[in-house]
Structure 1
Amino acid sequence: MHPAKAARLKALQRHAERLQRRIARLDVRSNRYSWLRVAIFATGLTLGLALGLARDWRLGLFSFILALLLFSGVAAQHRRLEAHLSRLRLLSRLLRDQQARLRIDWSAIAPLPPEPAGSESQPDHPFERDLDISGPRSLHRLLNTASTSQGSQRLRSWLLSEDPDLSTILHRQALVAELVPLRLFRHRLQIESRLAGGQSGILRSEQLQARLQQEQPNARLIQSLILMGSLNLATLILLAGQLWLHLPPWWPLSAALSLLIFLLRRRDAGDLFEEAFELQSTCAQLSAIFAYLERRRFPGQPHLQQLCQPFSASQLSPARALRHLSLLLSLASFGQNLLLTLLLHLCCPWEFLIALRLNAWKARLARQMPRWLETWFELEALCSLATFADLNPDYHWPEFIVPDPSDPATSDQRPSLLYEGQGLGHPLLPPDSKVVNDLALRQGSAIAIITGSNMAGKSTFLRTVGINLVLANAGAPVNAQRLRLTPLRLFACMRINDALTEGASYFYAEVRRLRALLDAIERPAAAPLLFLIDEIFRGTNNRERRIGSRAYLQALAAAAPRCAGLLATHDLDLTQLADTIPGISNYHFREEIHNGAMTFDYRLRPGPCPTTNALTIMRLFGLPVPESESSDTLPSPKSDQERARKQAPQQSEET
């Protein structure tokens, strides 16, 4: 493990241990509060009964009321302590989760929030399944610290972006870089978001916005309000006339008429109780987090200040507005009790007043709520990337090569295609066993054929190259000592599944995928494309596979500089294409066998692979292999040996 990462892990462990000791002390105090509440209530009840029976009932009642007041004060203190404890327990879980993310311990990493309908994995996506972007052991789960499904899906959409926009990437990098040192802010935001999302992690923001935009006609409400108000006033005047002026009792008639009109026109106010039930809990959840974001200031962080402007610069205070709406909804919930509702409407047109005020506040909130929610979800996704950067101090920010705007000769030109990585590692592999490698793909040497023995690391290296490009395009740091690149799209052909429901074979699915790759390369006005192909045409016979592979590689080479990429294969005949097609280079992984045991160092080396190990693996697992046959050591062609000496990359080291 990298020393900086090991130091970060130790700091997290120390923080978690201190927090656990604090929680234990507060748990003891909470238990004492529980016993104190029992003692106060029991003492007050006993003393009240004793004094009431032995002396005076008023003295007993007074002592019991005094005990109840003391009990209420202690209960309030206990509730505050329990609320504080619940936040500390959440923080403790967050710290344990961060340790698991740092060690890549999938059993302890928090699961993803429930996905909304329609967000399943896309089978035709250029790289989602191939590179483990989504799923239970995926890049999305490793990065995601968002507590709401909306924030999690925002992060996922960044990881699955197919068309990189350089200005968006650089702006997101700046935001994440400003968030990295703000650990307390990220922890507080995550805790408040967890509390707002509830146990399910789903904030029903769509239903909230739909309810805010749903208004009852104000004209009908005003008519009902005037009519009901007039009848209520008449009832009160007639009642007062009977009591003081001894007029005939006409007020029951006006009261009955007002109740009849209320029942007939109640639908003008809509179903206030249903609306209150749906919105009240959501508003209470949002008010706490909006209040925190409204109070928070970001001195020296201009990008964060601009992002959070809807909270800090809004004329309508988000937290105050939600608290006011929550109060109105609480008043509207009286409609659950029909008897109480009828009694209220004898005095005033209660529901029509509340409905009119609700319409006014809903109209104000409907204009602002989308901006507030969007900012919150954006912050959740950005904090996920910032936490990833904070937990991995050995990762570095990618360097995007862009034309110099001050140079008129190059400002309007697209830079030459480049992907140059030093110390590339796979972020989903545990840091203790990770091996890093170097790679350079540039115009004139844009296609690398990777050969190697079984289990030597070819597929993992392809995924390493691709997943670091995904991180770079999302605005996150990459698992590399250095990564210089131009904006690149990504397309992978690594996991081809038989489409059984469509009656399609593996080979048919692979051909369709490779055709989609060529179509993506030929898209006009798009960024260059980095392709990753693992074992091309493995679904057919050897002869036709070789013919098709050669033709396909020739087509890819002819498409340069619109594309670059890697092709992993066991077919050593394909390595000879480097002698005839410019821009193709050979690299390989190899194994070593000592005393019948096979070992791998997972180092990328120049040139074709000089060895094979299939027969050795079969023999190690007890499969029948003729004694006269053995895995071969293959001589490298002279041209490949010379090219290997010229193109030998700097040897990589273990992390």
Structure 2
Amino acid sequence: MEPTIIADYQQRALEAKTQFTRYEKLANQYSLLRLVIFGLIVVGIYFGVVYNDIAIVIVAFILLGLGFAWLVSKQSGFEEEKKYYQDLTKVTENEIAGITTRANLYDNGNSFSDDKHFYTADLDIFGHLSLFQMLNRAATFAGRSRLAFWLSKPSVKYVILNRQDAVKEIAAKNSWKLDLQARLVFAIAEPGNHLEQLITYLNVPLNLKGENWLSKYAKIAPWLLLAAIIGTWFYYPVKMLAVLIGLTNMSIIFSRAKAIAKTDLIAGKIGKILGNYASAFEGIEQEDWDADYNSNLASFIGKDGTSARIKELSHLINKLNYHLNPYIGFFLNLFLLWDIRQIIAIENWKRNNRQNLEKAFDVIAEFEALISLSSMHINNPQWAFPIIVDGAAYSITAKQIAHPLINPDYAVKNDYELEDTYKIDIITGSNMAGKSTFLRTIGINTVLALCGAPVCAESMAVSVITMVSYMRIKDSLNESTSTFKAELDRLQMLLAAVESDEKIFFLIDEMLRGTNSVDKYLGSKAVIERLISKNGVGLVATHDLQIAHLEQKYPDYVRNFYFDIQVVDGEMLFDYKIKNGECKTFNASLLLKRIGIDTEASN
């Protein structure tokens, strides 16, 4: 199945590249035509001055100017199409890279890392080569934050099921999904707070001095100047009136330069960005949705016409940006008081349209998070959507479950069953036999299951639980914390969590490593017995076989499993398969012997 998916992406990327090349050629052709038209305008002005013929100047300005503006508009459209297909190629090739090399152009979520979180640090949820890096297709900071939140806390059952339906529907619309990614990929390079700045700008009025009379004058100023220019044909001295009107217009522009600059400082930079967001909103609004989750999100922005409103603001800001071309800006302000007209139009838009806009951008964030889960479903169609089960006790059952971050060519699959019960499973085994990986396999797939994503398993059923892990305990020089103190802090957090109202499922890997073997055994035994007394449920991996003897004391609560090795001709062979019972084979002495330390000789 995977080669078929890759071939599909390769075909899509090829088609996108072909369109990119087409629009690049058109943009270059129209750029050359613009240069020709500009040259004709200069020639027209020259002959108008030489022959003192205002008609030639008017023709040069109006007719050729209109032609120049049309060419600018067409070239701008071609540039937008070219950029779109370039981005579509980028996001499509990124899917190929994600499947073949696990590379990803999107953020790896390192900023969301938290060593004190219940489980994210131990289960490689954020950071380099993490689950987030594998999943993430959110270009905006809001989208990344939404996905990070989903991975950091289990959702309630009805939300999980609704998300599953939404993810399946989006996965069936791969062309739409890639299109939306292409329209939003620009946000990767934008500052994380660019939307926050936009919302702040929309809520702060400009307070343009004299706005009312300026608005009225800006409407009649072009007609006054045009009448004065035409009047020079009949009575030449009228040209002084035309000059006076022109100077008045420019003095108004210069007198409001501070207000124009203030608008330009923020709005001037976001016109094109808003255009991209408008396109994304439009793509969501116009798609037909069956899943309730998707339909509700789309209807929220559709009923307010969000895409049209954003597109209108983008258009207004882009019109203001015309003044960035000194030649065009001068004549637009001279004849039309262009900058004044645009900042007034922008202020009117802000007054009438800023409501609910912040919530509308939340819809984008939500869809980006859903798209992230959908990419995993598309790229791994053999993965299953888990069943979310009810019940007073705990359930985690899985068939052929594997770790999603391990190359599928090497990942070993296992079965596990904990069905509507209260148990603590002790897992013993040799070094490197697979105990820690198995704990992380159960943990990371449960994270996926409880956020609405498919899991790396043939099938899985899980109740809504909150995990707490005790695995990678680190000291901290900054906090003057030893390893043993860090372990005690983690244990205290675990025990406090178990006593809460939530369903806590713990993952403990080699408890109390920072102390001597006697205290380690006695402390670990006492902690497990405390957990049993609190109806705690989870997995405990250990090298200490004495811990496995707790099954004899608590036969109805403790179960033993193990990972072992086979030694053939002095070589260790690992099958990484979980088995019932206690481990009988250990390999520390063999591993030490390989680096030149003979434990038997030392005796």
Name the TM-score, length of structure 2 as normaliser: 0.82
Whether 2:209 is the aligned partner of 1:191: answer no
Q: Is the 8 A contact 1:19 1:88 kept in 2?
A: no
Residues 23/522 of structure 1: CA separation in 2 closer, same or farther (3 Å cut): closer
Whether 2:499 is the aligned partner of 1:522: answer yes
Equivalent positions of 1:209-358 (< 5 A) are: 209-217=199-207, 221-222=211-212, 267=258, 271-298=262-289, 300-314=290-304, 316=305, 318-333=306-321, 351-358=339-346
Shift of 1:260: 6.7
The corresponding residue for 1:49 is: none
Q: Which amino acid aligns with 2:440?
A: R
Distance 1:21 1:344 in 2: 42
Whether 2:559 is the aligned partner of 1:585: answer yes
Q: 2:123 pairs with 116, 120, 131, which one?
A: 131
Q: How large is the Cα RMSD of the aligned pairs?
A: 4.5
Distance 1:290 1:28 in 2: 27
Distance 1:492 1:216 in 2: 52
The corresponding residue for 1:572 is: 545
Residues 172/41 of structure 1: CA separation in 2 closer, same or farther (3 Å cut): closer
Q: Is the 8 A contact 2:260 2:343 kept in 1?
A: yes
Q: Is the 8 A contact 2:393 2:422 kept in 1?
A: no
The corresponding residue for 1:422 is: 399
Which consecutive residues of structure 2, in runs of 5 or more, have no partner in the other structure? Answer: 38-62
The corresponding residue for 2:165 is: 174
367-376 vs 421-430, which moves further? 367-376
Distance 1:602 1:147 in 2: 38
Distance 1:168 1:296 in 2: 22
Shift of 1:135: 0.7
Percent identity of equivalent pairs: 27
Q: Is the 8 A contact 1:276 1:333 kept in 2?
A: no
Distance 1:345 1:34 in 2: 27
Q: Is the 8 A contact 2:388 2:464 kept in 1?
A: yes
Shift of 1:428: 0.8
Residues 201/22 of structure 1: CA separation in 2 closer, same or farther (3 Å cut): farther
1:487-525 deviation per Cα after TM superposition (whole angstroms, max 9, x unaligned) = 1001101111111111110000111011011111122xx
Q: Is the 8 A contact 1:424 1:464 kept in 2?
A: yes
Q: 2:468 pairs with 477, 491, 496, which one?
A: 491
Whether 2:570 is the aligned partner of 1:596: answer yes
Q: Is the 8 A contact 2:425 2:561 kept in 1?
A: yes
Name the TM-score, length of structure 1 as normaliser: 0.76
Q: Which amino acid aligns with 1:507?
A: F
Shift of 1:228: 8.9
Shift of 1:423: 1.9
Q: Which amino acid aligns with 1:449?
A: I
Distance 1:364 1:20 in 2: 41
The corresponding residue for 1:4 is: none
Distance 2:115 2:298 in 1: 36
Shift of 1:262: 6.7
Distance 2:373 2:440 in 1: 20
Residues 356/532 of structure 1: CA separation in 2 closer, same or farther (3 Å cut): same
Whether 2:450 is the aligned partner of 1:473: answer yes
Q: Is the 8 A contact 1:173 1:476 kept in 2?
A: yes
Q: Is the 8 A contact 1:225 1:349 kept in 2?
A: no
1:542-575 deviation per Cα after TM superposition (whole angstroms, max 9, x unaligned) = 1111111111001110111xx3101111111111
1:76-126 deviation per Cα after TM superposition (whole angstroms, max 9, x unaligned) = 69984x8666655544544443344345x23xx11433869xx44112101
Distance 1:365 1:274 in 2: 21
Distance 1:261 1:42 in 2: 31
Q: Which amino acid aligns with 1:12?
A: I
Q: Is the 8 A contact 2:466 2:503 kept in 1?
A: yes
Whether 2:4 is the aligned partner of 1:11: answer yes
The corresponding residue for 2:54 is: none
Shift of 1:261: 7.2
Shift of 1:471: 0.6
Shift of 1:590: 0.1
The corresponding residue for 2:424 is: 447
Q: Which amino acid aligns with 1:181?
A: A
Residues 192/506 of structure 1: CA separation in 2 closer, same or farther (3 Å cut): same
Q: Which amino acid aligns with 2:474?
A: N
Distance 1:340 1:393 in 2: 54
Distance 1:259 1:275 in 2: 23
Distance 1:417 1:209 in 2: 44
Q: Is the 8 A contact 1:113 1:201 kept in 2?
A: no
Q: Is the 8 A contact 1:112 1:152 kept in 2?
A: no
The corresponding residue for 1:539 is: 514
Shift of 1:327: 3.2
The corresponding residue for 2:43 is: none
SS in 1 for 2:362: helix
Q: Is the 8 A contact 2:323 2:330 kept in 1?
A: no
The corresponding residue for 1:121 is: 113
Q: Is the 8 A contact 1:589 1:602 kept in 2?
A: yes
SS in 2 for 1:400: strand
Q: Which amino acid aligns with 1:178?
A: E
Q: Is the 8 A contact 2:412 2:576 kept in 1?
A: yes
Shift of 1:478: 1.4
Shift of 1:43: 13
Q: Which amino acid aligns with 1:553?
A: I
Distance 2:133 2:380 in 1: 16
Q: Is the 8 A contact 2:108 2:130 kept in 1?
A: no
The corresponding residue for 1:101 is: 98
Distance 1:275 1:304 in 2: 32
Residues 245/182 of structure 1: CA separation in 2 closer, same or farther (3 Å cut): closer
Q: Which amino acid aligns with 2:437?
A: T
Distance 1:34 1:443 in 2: 64
Equivalent positions of 1:501-650 (< 5 A) are: 501-523=478-500, 526-560=501-535, 563-581=536-554, 582-627=556-601
Q: Is the 8 A contact 1:487 1:527 kept in 2?
A: no
SS in 1 for 2:270: helix
SS in 1 for 2:381: coil
305-314 vs 176-185, which moves further? 305-314
Residues 425/214 of structure 1: CA separation in 2 closer, same or farther (3 Å cut): same
Residues 275/618 of structure 1: CA separation in 2 closer, same or farther (3 Å cut): closer
Q: Which amino acid aligns with 1:275?
A: I
Whether 2:150 is the aligned partner of 1:158: answer yes
Q: Is the 8 A contact 1:33 1:78 kept in 2?
A: no
The corresponding residue for 2:387 is: 399
Residues 288/613 of structure 1: CA separation in 2 closer, same or farther (3 Å cut): same
Distance 2:123 2:147 in 1: 16
Residues 274/179 of structure 1: CA separation in 2 closer, same or farther (3 Å cut): same
SS in 2 for 1:432: coil
Shift of 1:273: 2.6
Distance 1:239 1:17 in 2: 60
Q: 2:441 pairs with 464, 487, 490, which one?
A: 464
Distance 2:374 2:190 in 1: 24
Query: How many matched pairs?
Result: 576
472-481 vs 340-349, which moves further? 340-349
Shift of 1:416: 2.1
